[in-house]
Amino acid sequence: MSNANKTYDVVIIGGGPGGYVAAIRAGQLGLHVALVEKESTLGGVCLNWGCIPTKALLKNAEVLAYMQDAARWGIAFDNLRVDWGAAISRSRQVVKRLTTGVASLMKKNKVDVYSDEAELDTATSILLKKSGQKLSTKNIIIATGSSANTFGFAVDGKRVITSNEAVVIKDVPKRILIMGAGAVGTEFASIFRTYGSDVTLIEMLGHILPPEDDEIADLLAKEFTRQGVKLLMSTKVESITPSDTGVTVQVTAPDGAKTLEGDVILLAAGRSPNSKGLGLEKVGVKVERGFIVSDGQQRTNVPGIYAIGDVTKPPLLAHKAMREGEIAAEVIAGRSPKPLDINLIPHPTYCTPQVASIGLTEQQAKAQGFKIKIGRFPYRAIGKALAINEYEGQVKLVIEEQYGEILGAHIIGPDATEGIHEIGLAKSAELTTAEVSQAIHAHPTLAEAMGEAALAVDGHAIHI
């Protein structure tokens, strides 16, 4: 595309959920927008390699789990066969549909898309590395995202893989070692375990899903163990040696050094911001531990340069990137959007059973000096959960004792990643458990557990 003489209001670097949402919002606000993406499709990690393909594969795993348990539902068949390749192609079709959709949203919002790698030339000029073209602009939004941490281990794409390879892996590995028991690690554990892999989750910190409430993590650990996922917590991967037939991994566990064997090891222990090679030093953009420093309106220290999404600060979540994209676009258009409140960002994990949380854990609330009350309600006392045979888990609310402020909500159980939004809305409207329990929850629904947990804070839960 030749726009040599044009000056944009904003050039966005990176077409992931942060960048493409910023582009749409900026277009809606009448700005002249360019988006530069170095990969062949828009959508970033989320649509191409992360959120979407994993959720599609998790759905396949859920359907397979139903088939494996068919007798419970009074269904019998002979010779259950599994076509992993078909699961991968379904997930790639979903990806394609969404990334094509994003491309048409760019057209609809009159965003000029450049398929190139961008570097900051000055604070008002972007160099496109492949074409050599320069784009003049009044503002820049950096939305370059993050990449999997590899800790210096060589990724060969065969024996040593990241999530990028895992979402298109040709065969289900017989034995998979997963380094990192966070959201990415546990989701792949659920997918591969259901497809019959021998799965070992290796986590350096003390519990599975390290950022989550201890009690919820313990419940997930119990459930994973029941499903046959092996858990090695407080265990550090020291070395990885791939061979033609598999991979040998040396770890240090609390009870000493161990050697683990697998067909594949998946490196799923966190992600690093993509802030190198962007020319940030040249322009003087401040970076701390690799993350671009930005304020509540996504401004960096250099006027006219904004940063959003994974490249700016944790949590590394698509919906956080999207909201930051909207904020940056609105600020550039002269509006004053509310800064993103980190306590209002839901944390979803789509493993089986699902886990979702918002706000403070019990441990964080206590450490911050809050006097708290806890409301818990188990799904085994919820009719809908029994009806659908998914009754493991609970809702846990962390409430400030004096004024009843909802400090945090933690769910493990069916559709936790959907249910969490009730508390998200309640928290953002500064409601208390009184309003949550008074809201009428349809019967029978999983949402009843939320109303009951709100009542349980003061010992008034009805169904237990």
* Site residues, ligand FAD (CB under 6 A): 13-19, 36-39, 44-46, 50-51, 54, 117-118, 143-146, 163, 184, 274, 278, 309-310, 316-319, 321, 348, 350
Backbone φ and ψ for 316, nearest 5 degrees, come out as -85, 85
**What end-to-end distance do the CA atoms of the chain give, in Å?**
65
Identify the CA nearest to 160 among candidates 277, 273, 243: 243
Residue 157 Cα to chain centre, angstroms: 22
Nearer to ligand FAD, 143 or 249 (CB): 143
Identify the CA nearest to 43 among candidates 98, 89, 91: 98
Nearer to ligand FAD, 38 or 92 (CB): 38
Nearer to ligand FAD, 188 or 391 (CB): 188
- Which residues are registered as beta bridge partners of 262? 247
Q: How far is the CB of 115 from ligand FAD (least distance, A)?
A: 9
Rounded Cα distance, 28 and 105, in Å:
11
List all residues 6 or more positions away from 453 whose beta carbon is below 8 Å from its beta carbon. Answer: 375, 376, 377, 394, 395, 396, 397, 461
Q: Which amino acid is at 337?
A: P
Instruction: Say whether 443 is catalytic.
Output: yes
Q: How far is the CB of 58 from ligand FAD (least distance, A)?
A: 9
Q: How far is the CB of 323 from ligand FAD (least distance, A)?
A: 11
Q: Which amino acid is at 234?
A: S
Nearer to ligand FAD, 135 or 456 (CB): 135
Nearer to ligand FAD, 44 or 353 (CB): 44
Backbone φ and ψ for 326, nearest 5 degrees, come out as -65, -45
List all residues 6 or more positions away from 247 whose beta carbon is below 8 Å from its beta carbon. Answer: 159, 160, 177, 240, 241, 261, 262, 263, 264, 265
Residue 267 Cα to chain centre, angstroms: 16
Which position's Cβ is nearest ligand FAD? 145
CA Rg value for the chain: 23
Q: How far is the CB of 319 from ligand FAD (least distance, A)?
A: 5
Q: How far is the CB of 379 from ligand FAD (least distance, A)?
A: 22
Q: Which amino acid is at 87?
A: A
Q: Are 234 and 206 in contact (CB under 8 A)?
A: yes
Give the sign of the dihedral formed by CA 201, CA 203, CA 207, CA 211: negative
Q: How far is the CB of 452 from ligand FAD (least distance, A)?
A: 27
Nearer to ligand FAD, 206 or 284 (CB): 284
Which of the residues 319, 347, 410, 443 is marked catalytic?
443
- Which residues are registered as beta bridge partners of 113? 35
Residues designated catalytic: 443
